[in-house]
Structure 1
Amino acid sequence: MTEFGTLNWTILIVYILANLLLGYVISKKVSTADDFYLGQKQTPWWAIGISVIATYVSAMTFLGAPAWAYKDGLSVIAIHLNYPLVIIAVITFFFPFFYNAGCASIYEYQEKRFGKKARALVSGIWLISQTMSSAAVLYATAIVLSYITGIPEVAGIVIVTIIALIYTVMGGITAVIWTDVIQSGILLLGAGIIMYALIDGSSTPIMESLSQLKEQGKTNPLNFDFDVSQVSTVWSGILAMTLYHITVYGTNQMMVQRTLAAKNIGDAKKAYVLMGFLAFFVYFFFIIMGILFYNYYQGKPFENENTIILEFASEYGMPGLMGIIAAAVMAASMSSLDSAFNSLSTVSTLDFYKKYFKPNETDTHYLNVSRVFTVFWATIIIFPAIMYHLHSTGSILEVLSKVGSFFVGAQLGMFGLGFFSKHATERGLLVGTFVGVLAVTYAALFTDVAWPWYAAIGAFVNVAVTIVASIAIDGKQAEYSPYTVKGQIKAFADSGAEEKENGWYLVPGKVDKVCYVLFGFFIFTLVFLFSFESFI
């Protein structure tokens, strides 16, 4: 632990204290439960957008993306091609329902569309999946703290949890967003220094390194193989992972909640559009770093692939670099953990406690309960994080993606049926969701199908079984629910309400102009990657 040095400890401690101070300052503005969940709807869209990016990038990308690319090469980028398509779908179909309802929990939509049981089911599924995902983030951070400072990994898990918990309990969603902005800056600084050091410290120029990697088959970004047992193919990235990420960004309370803190629906959409344009570059940067590491270390095996970036930083020997890296990884982790704590608390309070136990209490009461739930979930997450510590050595980014893939199909199917199905009913939905989860479990345990396809399998089975079960149990419905896309379009037309607010559609299913630009950007990324290897 003493090898970490005074300068590195100073950098890390100053960073931690800055986050706690910011949480304390923001806590002065939190006086109601709505302030805790949504802030005062005064947060600028660009800050929300950066927070969205920081939350999903997290320590998984900082450690896991280079580790994954080290093993599988540039083809890993295929998993991240789909963000423009994902953002188009989410801001076109999901945001209008959530924002127009004025709700803090997005799962309130399920109750309006189907009923209380559907809301409780999707909320419960999300609580489980988010707990497991957040535990993976904690595990990744513990690896870093243990490697850099000598702190035991279990102790690191507890320390990071406590730090993120303190400022989240104090400042709510506003503290989450603004600390994410700071944390993203620290993360990019650390990553930029590592990339510079990697290029500077290499014995061969970067283009020569890429040529050597090309000869070893590490620079082909687009694998068009139709083999569904392979993870990183173009088809898994564009088809399967588009559905996966639509669920992450459209049905995940942790991701959507911060956009509900925006001033209006236009700002909410702009925050996500920022993600649609920047995500590709962020992931491409870290994946390129991974294959450059492969050339630098001549493909030597590592006991734990997630420590590659740490070993390199340690060898480089720049004063203060390990402190910056420790702060960067803690920043990446806490940007995900604080969001998870706040969202888990929100769903627990609104979808369960207020709904079923204490429906008529004061606003102060719900604020206090929300803070108690924040502490509760922070404590719970520690235990699966320790399980990851005991049993995982592969890329933590891939581990996290696999964990999430078991649940996203059920969530996507529930919302897809809500938006588009005329005949889906609550009782049919409960049957379909159960069968969909069984189908994913079977695919995972008894087939060679790669995990990116689990979301598609779960969603398809859920939709098919739900429609058949709904008609069998409740019969065909005479008309579309007001909470379907067609129902909303009809409601707007009948009421004569404005379809747009400040140039952005309020009606689900209507495509904003920026979506065409996003689609053009998606085509650009394909052309860029298709041409990449030719220019090496």
Structure 2
Amino acid sequence: MIEFGALNWSILIAYIIANLALGLVIGKKIETDEDFYVGQKTTPWWAIGISVVATYVSAMTFLGAPAWAYKEGLSVIAIHLNYPLVIMAVIIFFFPFFYNAGVASIYEYQEKRFGKRARALISSIWLVSQTMSSAAVLYATSVVLSFITGIDVIVAIVIVTAIALVYTVLGGITAVIWTDVIQSFILFAGAGIIFYALLNESSFSVMDSLTQLKAEGKLNPLLTDWDFSATTTVWSGIIAMTLYHTTVYGTNQMMVQRTLAAKNIGDAKKSYLLMGFAAFFIYLFFIILGVLFYSYYQGKPFENDNTIILQFAAEYGMPGLMGIIAAAVMAASMSSLDSAFNSLSTVSTIDFYKKYFKKDQSNAHYLKVSRFFTLFWAVLIIFPAIMYHLHSTGSILEVLSKVGSYFVGAQLGMFALGFFSKQATENGLLVGTFTGFVVVAAVALGTDVAWPWYCAIGAGVNAVITLIASRLIDGKQHELSEYTIKGQQLKFAREGLDEKENGWYRVPGKVDPINYWLFAFFIATLIFLGSIQFMV
């Protein structure tokens, strides 16, 4: 605990009040459940894009990326260099299905392609995985508040949950997006101040630090060993984590839902393209912070690596800095939590309550139910967050990624089979998904294979077993579903539908020209990272 002081408390409290006030203002415009889920289709693409960035960057990156890089070095960037490939895949294959259907829950696609059981299964998988991921975000923020104020960690968890809950219940997805915009500026302002202070305080020059790190093997960003037990190789980054992050951005209701609030499919794609071009620089920045901290502290061990950035801020002693950092981390945390609360509520209401319990109620009824589910999930998430607090001391970014890796293979497999396979059936899919879970669990518990590969293993097993089981149970399929990529293309051609809207493709599988620039950017980042060792 450090002396927080009146100035720091003023900054933090002002930030909290601003978020609550914004939620209150936006909440006055929420009249229907549709407004709560996707807004009124008036949100600009750049705000949605910033919200996407803020949501996934979160407190996991602010605290966890420097902590992870402190331990592993610059090679951690390999896990995050795949975003251009990920965004290309999502906007080419996923977005057209979701946006053309006009859905609020992306898991409605599974019912249209396979059936009700498939939709219920993937919705349930996502609810569990998102609850665990959001709990990790809560834990991250509790570390900060406890460190700087002395508040008990569990009390901190409850406080942060309550703040994010209030403005999410009031303002729905629109409040989520606009508060994320504000929160992102606070987050990066805090990180920028820390970076400047670190360079200013270090007794080493930047080049001296880099030379030392190179000598200790912490400056190689591209580890090319085919070691499946190693987490941060270039192969796990380009192959395994491309699949992992495609699942995060393509099959995750929390990430996709805000793009459904865009005016048209072009704006939805542009909002994701912002992440495709910006993610590399964002993660590289935080990872460089970690390796510079390693040089500054000469690699000394910390009881909890996630407090490194906080420890430095406390030692630096700039008036108001701890208040800014506290607000930045709370901003990072709440940009993820508000999104999670809203999307968990959306899936619970649409995929379960509205479908199986109350089918023909008023918009006002479903809005009330959506707000109830927001409260329900906010309370529920508190319990796994406490478990993280009791059992985790490593990088929270790595913890979050590990938790997600158990689930993403099943999600990716279900969507990939729907998009590309004529022969996959619902019965086969259920068998394949269950088998994939069993195999991933066996690999995690019985081998030293690194977690980034769990998604590839789970999705691969799911695909193979699904196709075999589909043939054995339902026989050969002769009709092509219109909800496959090929089926959609044939439908557009048969019905004479416009393939483009405002210059952007509506039909899945078609490549917008900007994607070629995105791929070129990916190649340029590889060349840059490969040259780093020769520059020092």
TM-score, structure 1 length as denominator? 1.00
Cα distance between partner residues in 2 of 1:65 and 1:488: 40
Cα distance between partner residues in 1 of 2:90 and 2:431: 26
How much does 1:479 deviate? 2.4
1:393-408 maps to which residues of 2 (within 5 A)? 393-408=393-408
How much does 1:322 deviate? 0.3
> Which residue of structure 2 aligns with residue 163 of structure 1?
163
How much does 1:487 deviate? 0.3
> Which residue of structure 2 aligns with residue 200 of structure 1?
200
> Which residue of structure 2 aligns with residue 385 of structure 1?
385
> Which residue of structure 2 aligns with residue 316 of structure 1?
316
Amino acid at match of 1:361: Q
Structure 1 residue ranges without an equivalent (≥5): none
> Which residue of structure 1 aligns with residue 301 of structure 2?
301
Deviations 1:384-441 (A, max 9, x none): 0000000000000000000000000000000000000001000100000000000100
Aligned positions, number: 536
How much does 1:204 deviate? 1.4
Matched, 1:256 2:256: yes
Q: Specify the SS of the correspondent of 2:120.
A: helix
1:103-252 maps to which residues of 2 (within 5 A)? 103-252=103-252
> Which residue of structure 2 aligns with residue 23 of structure 1?
23
Matched, 1:268 2:268: yes
2:168–2:175: 8 Å Cα contact kept in structure 1?
A: yes
Matched, 1:356 2:337: no
How much does 1:480 deviate? 1.4
> Which residue of structure 1 aligns with residue 60 of structure 2?
60
2:80–2:280: 8 Å Cα contact kept in structure 1?
A: yes
Q: Specify the SS of the correspondent of 1:225.
A: coil
> Which residue of structure 1 aligns with residue 12 of structure 2?
12
Amino acid at match of 1:467: L
> Which residue of structure 2 aligns with residue 435 of structure 1?
435
Cα distance between partner residues in 2 of 1:288 and 1:2: 26
Deviations 1:176-204 (A, max 9, x none): 00000000000000000000000000001
1:365-514 maps to which residues of 2 (within 5 A)? 365-514=365-514
How much does 1:216 deviate? 1.1
Amino acid at match of 1:485: I
Cα distance between partner residues in 2 of 1:318 and 1:205: 21
How much does 1:377 deviate? 0.1
Amino acid at match of 2:126: W
Q: Specify the SS of the correspondent of 1:103.
A: coil
How much does 1:119 deviate? 0.2
Cα distance between partner residues in 1 of 2:45 and 2:207: 38
How much does 1:209 deviate? 1.1
Cα distance between partner residues in 2 of 1:483 and 1:382: 38
Amino acid at match of 1:150: G
Deviations 1:282-329 (A, max 9, x none): 000000000000000000000000000000000000000000000000
Cα distance between partner residues in 2 of 1:316 and 1:150: 19
Q: Specify the SS of the correspondent of 2:452.
A: helix
Q: Specify the SS of the correspondent of 1:352.
A: helix
2:2–2:314: 8 Å Cα contact kept in structure 1?
A: no
TM-score, structure 2 length as denominator? 1.00
Deviations 1:196-224 (A, max 9, x none): 00000000111111111111111110000
Cα distance between partner residues in 2 of 1:356 and 1:256: 24
Cα distance between partner residues in 2 of 1:414 and 1:194: 42
Cα distance between partner residues in 1 of 2:241 and 2:220: 19
Amino acid at match of 2:450: A
Structure 2 residue ranges without an equivalent (≥5): none
Amino acid at match of 1:451: W
> Which residue of structure 1 aligns with residue 517 of structure 2?
517
> Which residue of structure 2 aligns with residue 288 of structure 1?
288
Deviations 1:90-139 (A, max 9, x none): 00000000000000000000000000000000000000000000000000
Deviations 1:261-283 (A, max 9, x none): 00000000000000000000000
Deviations 1:200-257 (A, max 9, x none): 0000111111111111111110000001000000000000000000000000000000
How much does 1:3 deviate? 1.7
Amino acid at match of 1:257: Q
Cα distance between partner residues in 2 of 1:471 and 1:112: 20
Amino acid at match of 1:469: A
Cα distance between partner residues in 1 of 2:93 and 2:406: 23
Percent sequence identity is: 76
Cα distance between partner residues in 2 of 1:3 and 1:296: 23
Q: Specify the SS of the correspondent of 2:41.
A: coil
Amino acid at match of 1:54: A
Q: Specify the SS of the correspondent of 2:73.
A: helix
Cα distance between partner residues in 2 of 1:349 and 1:204: 56
Deviations 1:40-63 (A, max 9, x none): 000000000000000000000000
Cα distance between partner residues in 2 of 1:311 and 1:164: 26
Amino acid at match of 1:448: D
